[in-house]
Structure 1
Amino acid sequence: MSATTQRAGVVSFDAEMTDAATRTANGDRWYRIRSRIGKTVLAVVLVGFALLFLYPFAWLLAASLKPRGEVFDNALIPETFVPHNYVEVWNQLPLLPWIGNSILIALLAATFVAVSSSMVAFGFAYFSFPGRKILFGLVLATMMLPGAVTMVPQYLIWKDLGALGTWIPLFGANLFGSAFYIFLQRQFFLGLPRELFEAARLDGASYWGLFTRIAMPLSIPSFVIIFLFEFQASWNNFQGALIYLSAGSVSDYTVPLGISYAMTTFSPTNGGHGDYQYVMVASLLVTLPMLILFAFGQRYFIEGVATQGRKG
């Protein structure tokens, strides 16, 4: 091969390498441009949805700072600021007893259902016995029953027990667990290494010790998730309070029933003066416990999702 041919080959190779590098650089540049465009579009969409979901809260905040005649004018910036509404609401409504009742009932309901569901779920996850799958299927089948089907039988049961007009029906059934929470906790327990329980049994641990000293400490994320879900469900339980507490004293109401009572009391059709600004203040204040609870519990949501993802 002559020197001229060699030089031509080198020049051709260098040209090809230069073209490849140029194409790579152009490709990287277009990739970065598309990436920036995609991130910008995603940010705009997320901000749009965030504003959409925050609008009701912003409207409620604005309405709580307005006088009686401007509550429903849909303006997000009140023409007349009345911060005194947040002071007067405590004189107009027994808001503090309502919040206290709801917190106590929600704590009892969430604690009972989280503990009882975890115990049943551990039994289904750890023990093998004849008919386990059939029994677990029956537990899951109870989720298919509409609430309207069981409403009347439950009412008759609590009536025969003499619990009408008390808080017991609002949390008593949670002593027997919940099908959805049992399923959720069972899936978590199935992901735990069985060798831990076998080693503990060899060391003399009882079945109750397996549950309290191994299963429960390792399932704190899912336990907290169940607790938060049920706390929120109990906090917003208007139907149960309406059925079992509406005939009692107003100070014994929960937050949802109390706000409904306030709407009726302030309605001009019932002799009220339309002071709905106090209802808006009460509605805003009663959201604060849930916001605080979820703010402290969000890390358990993330940990629970991450743990379930690692299991998959």
Structure 2
Amino acid sequence: MDTLLNPAALKDRLDGGGDTGQRTVLLDVRWALGDPHGQDHYLREHIPGAIFVDLATELAGPAEPRRGRHPLPPLEQFQESARRWGINDGDAVVAYDDSGNMAAARLWWMLRNAGFRQVHLLDGGLAAWRAAGFALAAGPEQPAPGNVTLSDGAMPVIDAEQAATWGRKGLLLDARAAERYRGEIEPVDPRAGHIPGAVSAPTTGNLQADGRFLAPAELRERFERLGYRPGVPTAVYCGSGVTAAHEIAALETAGFSAALYPGSFSEWCHSASNEVVTGADPYGEDAATR
């Protein structure tokens, strides 16, 4: 199943076209780090029929140091949210945001992990829909409750113990901005740097200037340059497990697979027993002298 859907294909689906005969549920995941006004942006303008999804309360449990800033919510809570958004068994879901799918990919990954395979990202998000000249709506949308039944564990994950040694046997990608990886800045977490053995792979490198994903061949080249090889186990983390899902979507578009570390750096750095290293080298700026 294709991860990405372009605006013209979505418009065709919403207009009742296409050859699938499948009902499409459209979800707006307007969220960005440092911007708590996603719902206000949604109410101002969104794709007609889209339902707002609040990442902070519906795609995450309460923050706690031992699980990170955006821990995955319990399955029962996630299923309740999915039904509230109007998802039925057998539907297709298309998720988008206004930030290159950096937030919407979290929903994509969670639904895939819950055993729901018919889920896509709108390539380019709201900006691509606008650029295509398609109509926008304002105000809230009220879907009829859905009946979807979700499960758990369909996507690979790793924990902190596995992350500690992952770089020695496989490829551990850090999806945060490069300056956060190097430890030059840290706007939200108590320690700056990265997990030993991790390779810097900012999610922004997955996108073209217009917010669309790079072509599959370009993504393959990118991840192979970062160290991806067939048979080499690959895992991804970010600050709190949100944008790492974007990296996994990009890897899947390239034809590759990877595990998610859900707690990510916000979980890792809160434990004093977990080493944090700085600099551009996977094992820290003094790695050459070890």
Whether TM exceeds 0.5 here: the answer is: no
- Structure with higher RCO (Cα < 8 A, 6+ apart): 1
Q: Which has the higher helix share?
A: 1
Q: Return the TM-score normalized by structure 2.
A: 0.26
Which structure has more strand as a fraction of its residues? 2
Q: State the TM-score, normalized to the length of structure 1.
A: 0.25
